[in-house]
Amino acid sequence: VPCDGSYCRPLVAISLALSPLWLWFYFSEQFGIDIFSSYVGYVISAITLTMGLVVMRYAPGGDGPMDFYMVVPLTLFSFAIAATWLDSIADKLVQLLGLFGILLRIPATVMGLTVLAFGNSLQDLVANVSLSKKGLSTMATTACLAGPIFNLCVGLGFGFWALMKSTGKEEIHVELPNNIATGFYFTIANCALIVFAGRVVGKGVIGRGYGYVACGLYVVYVVTSLYV
């Protein structure tokens, strides 16, 4: 909704007011939870409706920025809603890729290493490249490392929690396929390469050469994963 310091006030208000309907659909589809079966859904609806009315009545229109006390809760709530959208879309994307893999007789490993990996990382690539072009290379590098760490820690943590909740099991038996083990090894190798390029070779600066070596390392990883 916001763009270059401006926003559409009616669209923000309507999005806030109707967001409980999306949350109801999301939790019903993903977890089988009806938020309107208890007071929780109605409390959320009352809060978001009030926020929508406040935005519609008191928020500045046109190019005027919102006050800080209004921006913070709106940003946090919007982030949570965006996360549910991404989770739902990612779930449908995985199902769609599985269908394409079956129809085209492409192994699931190949689909995961190529199409799914590229699609999952493309938005991060665009964002990090944009940051680098604006002189925020340190932030872009940090985001490259922080994103996978978040996925591994929070993604796996919530994933196993949801799996145990849906199956009723207290523990989940996990096997480590060769292609995933290969990914771990190459991740460790890339981290060591970053430290070596930045601390030893570049003396605190990661040069252009690391980018070429990292791209070559990724090609080796993909080929290795397909043949192990």
Residues with Cβ within 8 Å of 35's Cβ and at least 6 positions away in sequence, in order, are 20, 23, 24, 27, 41, 44
Give the model's pLDDT for residue 1. Answer: 43
| pLDDT at position 187 | 85
Low-confidence ranges of the chain (pLDDT < 50): 1-3
- Rounded to two decimals, the pTM is 0.59
DSSP letter assigned to residue 6: B
pLDDT for 222 equals 83
Confidence (pLDDT) at 19:
92
In whole angstroms, what is the distance from residue 127 CA to residue 75 CA?
18
Q: What pLDDT does residue 62 have? A: 56
* Helix/strand/coil for 3: strand
